[in-house]
Amino acid sequence: MNLETPPYIYNGYDFDIYQENLSVNNRLFCTFVEHDNIDELIYQLTRSYSILYNKLFVLHSKSNNEYVVTYNVDQNNVGDIPDNTILVHRKKDTNTLYTINAINELIKSLNGGVVDTKFPIEWNHYKNCILLTQEGELKQLNTKIYKIIEV
């Protein structure tokens, strides 16, 4: 998938290592896109993947005027990953999207520099946001739903 992306979109967020052998059968992807290219991206995604739950969520981060499209695909349906796409996880109760790298950085910042997988995270502090890393630094993008697309 080759969408031309201006340099301010995606801002170089760090990729988590893509893990082929996770036991979960679906992947939640988050694709960064310029506003004018949302419809084209949706078209390409629906032609390239079987979208689980038949929904794509378009989120807007006002602070840096970024748009992201989130969608679930079956791991057996993943060939190429679209440009400007990261694998994320979701905390359903607070609608928090996050990468594993970001959670590790968050825990380090809250726990005196120590990564402890049992460290309790107060998820309500990260409601309606995406937690990412950029050049190894934790970034929090507060988001609002721009639109939900049924496919």
Question: From first to last of its 151 residues, what are the pLDDT tens digits of the chain?
Answer: 444 444 434 556 665 544 443 435 678 999 999 999 999 999 999 998 889 999 999 999 999 899 999 999 987 766 778 899 999 999 999 999 999 999 999 999 999 999 999 999 999 999 999 999 999 899 999 999 999 999 9
pTM score over 0.85: no
What is the domain range of residue 31? 26-150
Which pLDDT score is estimated for 104? 96
Ranges of beta strands (E only) in the chain are: 26-33, 55-61, 66-74, 85-91, 96-98, 129-134, 137-142, 144-150
Q: State whether residue 124 is helix, strand or coil.
A: helix
Residue 117 placed within a domain: yes
| pLDDT computed for residue 20 by the predictor | 41
Specify if 88 maps to a domain: yes
Please check whether residue 3 lies inside any domain of the structure.
no
pLDDT score of 74: 82
pLDDT, residue 6, reads 41
Do the domain assignments include residue 14?
no
* DSSP letter assigned to residue 10: S
| Number of domains composing the chain | 1
Query: Would residue 16 count as lying in a domain?
Result: no
